Copies of this chain bind each other. A is one copy, B any other.
Amino acid sequence: MVRFESFGEANLLCDCLGEETLVAIFRTYNAIVKDFNRLFARFGLTEPQFNILVLLAKRENEGMVLSEIGRKMLVTRADVTGLIDRLERNGMLTRNSQPHDRRAKLAMITEKGLGMLRRVVPLHCDKINRVTAVLDGQEKRTLLNGLAKVNQGLVNGR
């Protein structure tokens, strides 16, 4: 039984298996994010900043409009403004107006940003592989299915 072994002394309320499951997702997420950010911090990055650079690297030549970045990252436009501010300040990307649509701003990754990715991505992928090496292929698929069901439950229980 998993209870109160892998997830610390959780703050259970309903004391049901469902709550335990959601608490486990919380704790696992937090552990992963802290682990990821330890790596990114060595390069002066954060996890959301890294994600933006990865997005922009896939559109190295075309760039991406800020609102599209927000939609892909599931954050608001206000968040994107701040994130792009800090990345631009550090020279990781440029932000320019669009002639076609004068409301939009186009973010484009710089050579410095690409160089940062070239250093960080291999380490990050190594970490992902090390962390998930404890699960075989079938276990990963089972975990993905369970999480997909929770997402379905969120839609149902709204």
Contact = CB atoms under 8 A, between A and B. Distances in A.
A158 interface: yes
Question: Nearest 4 CB-CB pairs, A to B?
Answer: A18-B132, A130-B157, A143-B146, A29-B29
A21 B135 contact: yes
Given A32-B150, A131-B157, A149-B134, A144 B13 contact: no
Interface residues of A, number: 65
Interface stretch (A96-104, A105-113, A119-127): A119-127
Interface in A1-27: 2, 5-9, 11, 13-14, 16-22, 24-27
A12 to B, nearest CB: 9
A124 B18 CA distance: 12
Nearest to A1: B141
A61 interface: no
A51 B11 CA distance: 7
Contacts of A139: 146, 149
